[in-house]
Amino acid sequence: MITAGIDIGSITAKAAVLEDGRILGAKVLFTGYNSRQAGQAVLDELMAEIGITREKINAIIATGYGRNSVELADKAITEITCHAAGAHFIDPSVRFIIDIGGQDSKVIRIDENGRVVDFAMNDKCAAGTGRFLEVMARALEVDLDGFGDLSLKGGAAAKISSICTVFAESEVISLISKGETRENIIAGIHESVASRVAALAKRVGVTEPVMMTGGVAKNIGAVRALEIKLETVIRVSPHAQVNGALGAAVLAGGINR
């Protein structure tokens, strides 16, 4: 059986295709202004890469904030459920998921079957999200891809106290003018993100093992800062960014067509 999952996020659209529990492929594209087109495009490009046609796919589930715009999907399921299913598929021993996306952050506690036990979500403020890191990288004139490695080279993390992204950006500019190093500022930015996400996680109750998903999971500085705040090791899968799409593809296996 071949199934597909499409995850439409605020910044990127992801697709994943499974065949009988085996990953055939995954793809990430920028969402752009039209989430419906993004869902179609990311699946089309993935199908071309792995050499299958739409007729070969038995079921498709859409997830993410733009899930209801994906017309080719058989069903739409919330990203909370799909991230739980994806993490369980990748590593069945995982009991807690931290997902930091472009415009929100989520923490999810799951049971031994990958079902959601409890969760909390910050979708009201950009602080503690990928968008926050993008704004800070722009203020520092640093490539976001190099953000994580630079923060690990810092000495004492600079203090970023503002909760609001706009005010935090002003703080960063002020620190630059005072001669603070980029490395220390970036370390402080990651510490700020980690503090907000850790507070969210502690509300739900962290249960080990912990996995981090979402695009920010590729940022080693953010991962390390969270490990320090939560006093635990955080697992990061090579499929972290497409975890929601993988979970959607897993759940599509339960659709009868």
152 and 70 in a single domain? The answer is no
Same-domain status, 50 and 121? no
Residue 78 shares a structural domain with residue 112: no
**Residue 144 shares a structural domain with residue 87:** no
Domain check: are 2 and 105 in the same one? no
Residues 121 and 67 in one domain: no
Number of domains in the chain: 2
Say if residue 76 is in the same domain as residue 182.
Answer: no
Judgement on whether residues 100 and 84 belong to the same structural domain of the protein: no
- 195 and 70 fall within a common domain: no
Residues 39 and 137 in one domain: no
User: Coil, strand, or helix at residue 114?
Assistant: coil
Query: Tokens in use for 39?
Result: 């869902």
Residue 87 sits in a domain whose CATH number is 3.30.420.40
Rounded Cα gap, residues 93 and 208, in angstroms? 9
pLDDT along the chain (257 residues), means of 10: 95 95 96 90 97 96 92 94 97 96 90 96 74 86 84 83 77 88 90 91 96 93 95 96 97 77
Strand pairing of 105-110 and 116-122?
Answer: antiparallel
In angstroms, the CA 242 to CA 239 distance is: 6
pLDDT for res 164: 74
| Angle formed at CA 216 by CA 80 and CA 181, multiple of 5 degrees | 150
Q: Give the integer Cα–Cα distance in Å for 2 and 57.
A: 5
pTM of the model: 0.91
- Domain span at 106: 93-236
- Kindly state whether residues 224 and 207 are assigned to the same domain: yes
Pairing of β 234-236 and β 12-19: unpaired
Asked whether the beta carbons of 186 and 162 are under 8 A apart, the reply is no
Residues 129 and 214 in one domain: yes
